[in-house]
Amino acid sequence: MKSFTKFIDSFGAILLAVIWIAPLLFAFWAATHSTSDAVNLKLFSPWTLDNFRVAWSGAPWLKYFFNTFMLVTVILIGQFFLTTLAGFAFAQLRFPGKDFVFILVLMQLFILPEVLIVENYAMVSRLGLFDSILGVGMPYMASAFGIFLMRQSFKGVPIELHEAARIEGCGLLGILWRVYVPLAKPTYLAYALVSVSTHWNNFLWPLIVTNSPETRPLTVGLSIFGAPENGVDISIISAATLMSVAPLLIAFLIFQRQFVQSFLRAGIK
């Protein structure tokens, strides 16, 4: 019985792994073969890198990469700044209406960002940030998830450390910077990973709010590149897709262990 459940466990794990990796494997296969070979799954057909060459010259990828990179960086910096301050306030400060405000923040977790697209669009236009990287990133900066995460992490810091820092002459922001932030490092790392991968892959909102190649991130650029009116060539689209996920994929493979550990340490599963 025991060996049977063990078998089911590993069988399930392998099955899931195969299902998850299959599209990636197919994309890799398609990207490295000519279109007809790829579609007909000819196993011994010759390998080629032509698709990458064609895809690369077909769109301003470097600009897109740069835009996506800037986008996730701007969002991450904004998130770190806002969630740190808000998380600290909810964890360690006393102010009237704190619980009520915190519940409001938590309620934000229940709302899908897509629901707010129209409202966000209007707001970003009013702010004059339409078609700018800051405009794409703005709605995600005061992340409820991040605030909640930072609050939990800051709450775990022993109060004696706070008091010791106070006696040693630290102000409130000094304590936050010198005691709370360094102690929450694993949480920051885990949160950064979630944030970067989410916003690297985010599509709908950037599609709506960007209007030019100057601000378009990779996902939007890719969809325009692969749009049916440009003619569907599965191999070239696969090549372009692989290029756009490559940085994240490689980073994940290199930092796999730290990735998983930081999640365990921060208590997110």
Partner 1 sequence: MTTAPMVVLKDIAKRWNGQLGVEGISLDIPEGSFTALLGPSGCGKSTTLRLLAGLELPDEGTILIDGKDVTTSAASDRNLSMVFQSYALFPHLSVAENVVFGLKVRRVPKQKRQEKLHRALEITGLLGYENRKPGQLSGGQRQRVALARAIVAGQRLCLMDEPLSNLDAKLRNSVRKDIKKLQRDLGITVIYVTHDQTEAMSMADTVVLMKDGHIQQVGTPNDLYSNPKNTFVAEFVGAPPMALIESSVLGGFGEDKTIGIRAENIQIVPKGEGRMSCIVNESEFLGAETLIGLDHEGARGLCVLKPGLSMVAEGNEIDINFHDEHLHVFDAAGHRLVR
Q: How far is the CB of 76 from partner 1 (least distance, A)?
A: 22
* Residue closer to partner 1, measured from CB, 32 or 262: 262
Contacting residue, 161, 194, 234, 251, with partner 1 by CB under 8 A: 161
Residue (82 or 161) nearer to partner 1, CB = 161
Kindly state the number of chain residues that form the binding site for partner 1, as judged by CB under 8 A: 18
CB closer to partner 1, 168 vs 214: 168
160 lies in the site for partner 1, by CB under 8 A? yes
Q: Is 46 in the site for partner 1 (CB under 8 A)?
A: no
Say whether residue 93 binds partner 1 (CB under 8 A): no
Assign 3-class secondary structure to the chain: CHHHHHHHHHHHHHHHHHHHHHHHHHHHHHHCCCHHHHHCCCCCCCCCCHHHHHHHHHCCHHHHHHHHHHHHHHHHHHHHHHHHHHHHHHHHCCCCCHHHHHHHHHHHCCCCHHHHHHHHHHHHHHCCCCCCHHHHHHHHCCCHHHHHHHHHHHHCCCHHHHHHHHHCCCCHHHHHHHHHHHHCHHHHHHHHHHHHHHHHHCCHHHHHHCCCCCCCCHHHHHHHHCCHHHCCCHHHHHHHHHHHHHHHHHHHHHCHHHHHHHHHHHCCC
- Counting contacts by CB under 8 A, is residue 22 touching partner 1? no
Q: Is 265 one of the binding residues for partner 1 (CB under 8 A)?
A: no
For position 185 contacting partner 1 by CB under 8 A, the verdict is yes
23 near partner 1 (CB under 8 A): no
Q: One symbol per residue from 116 to 155: x for binding partner 1 (CB under 8 A), - otherwise; what is it? A: ----------------------------------------
179 binds partner 1 (CB under 8 A): yes
Give me the least distance between CB of 94 and partner 1, in Å please: 13
User: Minimal distance in Å, beta carbon 185 to partner 1?
Assistant: 8
Contacts (Cβ under 8 Å, ≥6 apart) of 127: 135, 138
Q: Which amino acid is at 162?
A: H
Q: Residue 53 and residue 59: Cα distance in Å, rounded?
A: 11
* Stretch touching partner 1 by CB under 8 A, among 21-29, 52-60, 130-138, 176-184: 176-184
Q: Does residue 156 interact with partner 1 by CB under 8 A? A: no
Q: In Å, how far are 20, 69, 73, 117, 168 from 204, measured between CA atoms?
A: 23, 17, 19, 9, 50
Q: Which of 183, 189, 224, 248 binds partner 1 (CB under 8 A)?
A: 183
- C-beta of 252: minimal distance to partner 1 in Å? 27
Binding residues for partner 1 (CB under 8 A)? 158, 160-161, 163-171, 174, 178-179, 182-183, 185
